[in-house]
Structures are given as C-alpha cells and as structure tokens.
Structure 1
Amino acid sequence: MGLFTFNQKWIMTQTWEHLLFAHWPVSVDCIRRLVPDELEVDTFDGQAWISIIPFLMSGIRLKVFAEIPYFSTFPEINLRTYVKSHRRPGIFFITLDASDPLVVEMGKLWYHLPYHKAKISFRQNGQEIIVHSRRTPSDAFSTCFDGCYRPASIPFAAQAGTIEHWLMERYVLYSKHPRTKCVYWAEVYHDPWKLHAAEAHIGRNTLADGLLDTPLGKPALLHYSKGVHALVGPIHPLR
C-alpha cells in the first residue's frame, strides 16, 4: 500500500524511539504453540525467531484529535514473533509491557493486544540506554527485564533477502481476542528502519519464562534504531 492510500486510512500516530531489537532463533514447534492456528509461523531458511524490543513511546495522537495531552513519553517492552497470513508477513505480539496504565487498557480494548502493567525505568547515559522493568504488582517472582544497550555501527538500511530485512520490514500486526479467540489484523506504516549493529548486556530476563522450552540466553542478533514515526490503521477481523 502506498503512503498516499494509507494516509486516507490511518487512525493513530505514534513515535518509537531508542529501540533495541534482540533476536533469538527458536523451534517452529515452540512458536506454533504460541500463535493462533489461523496464522502461519513464518521462517527464515526454515528457522523461526522471537524478539524482545524495549523502547520509548511518544507522540500518540488520534486522527480526529490533536496530540492527547495525557500521554507523555513512556517506556514499553515487547515480546514478539513472526507470522504470516494469506502471504502477508507480519508480527504477532506474545506480550507487551508498558508503564502507562491507560495505554495498557487502550491496547487491550482497541487492538486486543496482551498488554501488562509494568514499572519500567528507561534512562539514557550518553549513547547507552539502561532499562529495568518489573510487572506490577511487584514481588520477587515478577516478570522482569534488565538490560543496557548502545549503537555499535554507522546506520544502514536492511537489504532485501537478508535476515535483517526479514525481521524488521513488516507492516502488519496480528492479535487474538482473549475472550472470543478471534484473530485480528491491522496495518502499520512507517519509513524503512535505519538500523545500527548494537552492543547489549541483558541481565535478568524472564519475559519468555513459561512460554519457551528453555530460558532465553544470549541473543543471536542485536540491532538498534534511533526510531521512526508510525501511522497505525484500524483493526479488522481476519477472514
């Protein structure tokens, strides 16, 4: 879909800033258990992948309104995998943690996304980003993510046919309603990602505990992006 056409359809804008993309290869069978039957597990050279993305969200605005004053910049962490339907590659969000309680409720209500409330510290020290997250209510066993990261190369655009392009250049999100189990999709438009290789240290990370056969170890691939401005379309049931 061209930008002009999508400009007629978007309903919300968002800006995503200072993103880390940490990627792990996982088995297709493992991912198959996590996504609805209506979606096909997407693979690169026969390999399924899972990713964790901490970032800052800002500039949320509905098309019919000016920027919503309530929303300031706030951190979020996504756990996602890669799927397709009717040959359209997209992203399926397994979990989303956010520090803004209204965004948590809006994401659940409007897009049927599996949001969780979390207390997230997200700070910048020079080029380094430091993130500490705990789901609330907090206790010793709360789902958590602790890490720090920084860009480690000049920016580049992912080339078609590469694993970077396969992971990053996706413009459809899929979700499942928790009660009806109906699968939905929505389009997202933004400029192609400007990526950097990244350096990262991930400490305690339990976002995928209980979902995968084994805990996530060291990421196989790491990327950083300064960010993009995104247009988000309406949600539709998958037919």
Structure 2
Amino acid sequence: MSPRPPRPLDPQGPPLPTRRIAEQQWRDACFVHWRTDPALVAPLLPRGVRPDVHDGSAWVGLVPFRMVGAGPPGRGGVPWLGSFLELNVRTYSVDGQGRRGVVFRTLEAERAAVVLGARTLLAVPYRWARMRLDREQDEAGRTVLDHRSRRRAGPTRPGSRVRVAVGERLARPGPLEVFLTARFGLHTRAWGRSLWVPNTHAPWPLHRGELLALEDDLLRATGFGDLADRPPDSVLCSPGVRTAFGLPLGLDDPR
C-alpha cells in the first residue's frame, strides 16, 4: 500500500483522546530550530516513518521548557515528581497513514524516576540531567529565559544553554510556525514495533524570540553534526499549553 500524504496541519489540534493516559502542562518553552537536509534525518527515525518537510527541508529543534503537573488523567498531577525541567532535541516525522509527529532524539530531564519510567514503558530516550531555568528582564523590559542542562552520566555528558529574549506576540502564526508547533503525536519504537502516541492541546500562544546565547553539544551528540555552529533559522517562545496523551497505536492502527 502506498503511503498516504501528510495530513493537513491544524493548530487547533484533534479532539481529546477518548482513552487518556497522561495530562500535563508545558510552560516557558523556547523553540530553537534549524533547517537541514531530509537525508540527514531519515536514518535517525523509527522504522516506518519518514521525515516531514517544510519548504523542502527537514527541521531539527532544541526545545527547553518546564513540565508542570504531569500525571494520570483527572488527578491534578503527581506532587514534586510531576513538575520538572526538560530539554529535548527533536525532528519531525510522518507515517504511512499520513499522521504527523515528533521524533525525540533525546529528552533531558531532572527527575531520575521519570527518566527510568519513560525509557522502560515506551523506550522514549529520556536521560537524567542537572538543569536550571533563570527568568530575568533585560534593559528593554523583555523577559529573558535562560535554560541550562548538563547530562549527569555517560562518557561525554553533553549539555546545552539556551538564552532567549521573549519578543512580540504573533497574532497569526505563519505556515512555518504552525509546522514547528502544531504537533499532535510522537513516533517511537518500543516492544519491537514502531508506535504513534497521540496527544492534543490548544494552539501554542507564540512569541518571536531573540537568541542571546547558545552553547550546545546535544545536537552533535544526537546525530545532527554541526548544526549548532550556525545561527538557527527560527526562534520562538511560548508561555505554554496544557496537553493530554492517548494510548499508543501501531503504525497500521487507524486513527
């Protein structure tokens, strides 16, 4: 069967999953993105998915944020364990049914138990890191978010610092901004099969961002070479959204 074309992107998101497995909030997010060759991305994706492209390019993101109130549906979040800092390296994917998603190359997080649980249950590449977020104000009165991360284990212990000034609100995000943020599922590989895990959230309230500092070796450590050596092609910020995840589906399962 020929793969279906990617489904249209809708920043409103799909309806709430009928069978939710988790709810959480993502706050103080920075989206720092580079365009790259889809041929660089393709070998890094789970079996059965291909790079999702915009304007002929694949896109790679460095995305730090605060996780708040993560936990089972309707429980209000797990105390302490459900709120932590996270930073992910991600790219974008589409499967044979046209479902668009995110593929995470790493998710650095400061809660060891979360790292262990996510790696065990869904084989999502969480890694334990020492992390910090400083919120400041510059001379122009703009909010400045300074996200820092350093992996706690491993031979190289890669890390990242992303310092961004939050600019004006985007009244109407353009096609690129929608492509980079209207993502309502993730592709991963677990239990010997590739999976799509659906989620939904309201449209991200997006702001322009100005990158003030970047010190990063996570992109290189996750297979993206020297991308961090050149300026990013898009920098966005958001105060955040609330989201819900549904049960994982196989790539052949309809939805």
TM (norm. structure 2) is 0.84
Identify if the C-alpha distance between structure 1 residues 5 and 146 changes in structure 2 by more than 3 Å, giving closer, same or farther: closer
- Computed over aligned residues only, the root mean square deviation of the Cα atoms, in angstroms, reads 2.2
Q: SS where residue 230 of structure 1 aligns? A: strand
Q: Say yes or no: does 1:223 pair with 2:236.
A: yes
Q: Say yes or no: does 1:214 pair with 2:226.
A: yes
Identity %: 24
The alpha carbon displacement at 1:146 in A equals 1.1
Q: Equivalent residue for 2:54?
A: 44
Unmatched runs of 5 consecutive residues or more in structure 2: 1-9, 138-142
Q: Equivalent residue for 2:91?
A: 81
The alpha carbon displacement at 1:72 in A equals 5.1
Q: Say yes or no: does 1:184 pair with 2:200.
A: no
1:1-239 superposed matches below 5 A: 6=16, 8-63=18-73, 65-71=75-81, 73-85=83-95, 86-126=97-137, 127-137=143-153, 141-159=156-174, 162-177=175-190, 180-210=191-221, 211-216=223-228, 217-239=230-252
Identify if the C-alpha distance between structure 1 residues 215 and 43 changes in structure 2 by more than 3 Å, giving closer, same or farther: closer
The alpha carbon displacement at 1:45 in A equals 2.0
- Code of the residue aligned with 2:168 in structure 1: it is S
* Alpha-carbon displacement from aligned partner over 1:22-73 (angstroms, at most 9, x marks no partner): 0001111100121123101111121111001000001112026453224253
Unmatched runs of 5 consecutive residues or more in structure 1: none
* Alpha-carbon displacement from aligned partner over 1:197-233 (angstroms, at most 9, x marks no partner): 1012233201111412434221111000000000111
Identify if the C-alpha distance between structure 1 residues 125 and 185 changes in structure 2 by more than 3 Å, giving closer, same or farther: same
Identify if the C-alpha distance between structure 1 residues 146 and 138 changes in structure 2 by more than 3 Å, giving closer, same or farther: farther
Distance 2:65 2:17 in 1: 25
Distance 1:83 1:15 in 2: 23
The total of aligned residue pairs comes to 234
Q: SS where residue 207 of structure 2 aligns? A: strand
